[in-house]
């Protein structure tokens, strides 16, 4: 497919484990984007992606963004970028888009904030649930529903393309956009491993208790073999169910008051990343909600991992106080 003369420019850092995901994402983006450079770790280079793009595959992320400063740096790799690499990427590129979560603990969050400063807000995560077509369409029904008493979030991952820790990050990010941070978090994991924190595997079940009358329930698994996300927000007068493709608003008797899109999502992870990237370049003002928002999400993730280790409920707020 021929590139558009005014195509948006991007560079890609990925590895073989994520190469297929990035290829599918670029295919979904179409001719409106131009790849300036491709790079990946020397031990797992994305040679096929580079060859198909007619580019030489580099093995250094800093060299990639120095040689090819672009509108977007798309990073999708099993290895977390170093602070030096993030510093260079956020300096050279307008936006750095990650498909895997960055910090697994608040100490790392603090390091990122100190080193990157305001440029930390240039780091975005994709595909973010609030940017999917279903959630975007549900903006008005969400306001009609009001503050939910209970929020449930279910995320199923394709094991080879996304870490469970990333699914956990996306889940808490989605929940905290609808509710305040829980007072306590209790978690359990089956069919997998707990250590190290950013390499957990299996199926996670998490319960969050808010200081008031609210609660949250999260289920994240990398055991299903396919990508799927679903949220349900339950209020006193009804509920709202949202998928990547659409939503249903129900009253307290279960009658459908409003709906849009498909109740079962047919979009792939690559489709959703491409959709978010396309929205990203539509104009200014797009962001993650600031570093404080990321810190709250990370605190809930860290409390979840701590609960898995201790078998007890843990407090995200206390972790924030102790950092």
Q: Residues 69, 197: one domain?
A: no
Q: Provide the whole-model pTM.
A: 0.92
> Which pair of structure tokens corresponds to residue 44?
């797992």
Contacts of 98 (CB under 8 A, 6+ apart): 75, 76, 81, 123, 124, 125, 126
**Is residue 225 one of the residues assigned to a domain?**
yes
- CA neighbor of 85 nearest in space, from 75, 94, 71: 75
Phi-psi region of 73 (alpha: psi -120 to 50; beta: other; left: phi over 0): beta
Domain that holds residue 200: 132-268+288-322
Report helix, strand or coil for 151.
Answer: strand
- Of 81, 98, 115, the residue that ends a domain is 98
Q: Residues 152, 52: one domain?
A: no
Q: Residues 59, 170: one domain?
A: no
For residue 224, the number of C-alpha atoms closer than 13 Å in the C-beta half-sphere is: 16
Q: Residues 245, 296: one domain?
A: yes
What DSSP state is assigned to residue 288?
Answer: S
pLDDT per residue, tens digit, the chain (323 aa), is 455 667 899 999 999 999 999 999 999 998 899 999 999 999 999 999 999 999 999 999 999 999 999 999 999 998 889 999 999 999 999 999 999 998 778 998 889 999 999 999 999 999 999 999 999 998 877 777 777 899 999 999 977 678 999 999 999 999 999 899 999 999 999 987 777 777 888 999 999 999 888 999 999 999 887 889 999 999 888 999 999 999 999 988 889 999 988 767 678 999 999 999 999 887 654 455 456 688 999 999 999 999 999 999 999 999 999 87
How many domains, in total, are found in the chain? 2
Contacts of 33 (CB under 8 A, 6+ apart): 3, 7, 8, 9, 10, 26, 277
**Is residue 274 one of the residues assigned to a domain?**
no
> Which pair of structure tokens corresponds to residue 305?
């991992």
Q: Residues 33, 137: one domain?
A: no
């Amino acid at each position: 497919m021929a590139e558009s003369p005014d195509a948006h420019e991007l560079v890609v850092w990925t590895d073989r484990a994520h190469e297929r995901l990035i290829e599918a994402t670029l295919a979904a983006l179409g001719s409106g984007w131009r790849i300036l450079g491709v790079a990946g770790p020397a031990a797992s280079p994305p040679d096929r992606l580079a060859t198909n793009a007619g580019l030489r595959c580099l093995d250094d992320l800093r060299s990639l963004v120095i040689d090819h400063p672009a509108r977007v740096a798309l990073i999708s790799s099993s290895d977390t970028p170093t602070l030096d690499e993030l510093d260079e990427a956020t300096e050279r590129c307008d936006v750095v888009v990650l498909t895997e979560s960055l910090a697994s603990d608040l100490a790392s969050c603090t390091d990122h904030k100190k080193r990157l400063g305001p440029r930390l807000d240039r780091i975005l995560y994709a595909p973010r649930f609030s940017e999917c077509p279903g959630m975007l369409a549900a903006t008005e029904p969400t306001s009609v529903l009001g503050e939910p008493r209970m929020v449930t979030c279910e995320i199923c991952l394709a094991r080879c393309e996304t870490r469970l820790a990333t699914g956990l990050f996306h889940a808490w990010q989605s929940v905290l956009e609808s509710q305040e941070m829980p007072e306590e978090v209790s978690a359990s994991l089956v069919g997998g491993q707990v250590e190290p924190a950013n390499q957990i595997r299996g199926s996670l079940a998490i319960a969050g208790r808010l200081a008031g009358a609210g609660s949250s329930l999260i289920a994240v698994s990398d055991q299903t073999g396919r990508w799927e996300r679903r949220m349900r927000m339950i209020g006193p007068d009804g509920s709202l169910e949202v998928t990547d493709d659409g939503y249903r608003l129900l009253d307290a008797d279960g009658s459908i008051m409003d709906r849009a899109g498909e109740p079962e999502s047919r979009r792939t992870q690559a489709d959703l990343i491409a959709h978010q990237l396309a929205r990203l370049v539509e104009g200014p003002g797009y962001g993650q909600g600031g570093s404080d928002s990321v810190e709250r999400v990370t605190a809930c993730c860290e409390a979840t991992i701590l609960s898995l280790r201790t078998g007890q409920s843990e407090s995200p707020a206390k972790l924030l106080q102790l950092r």
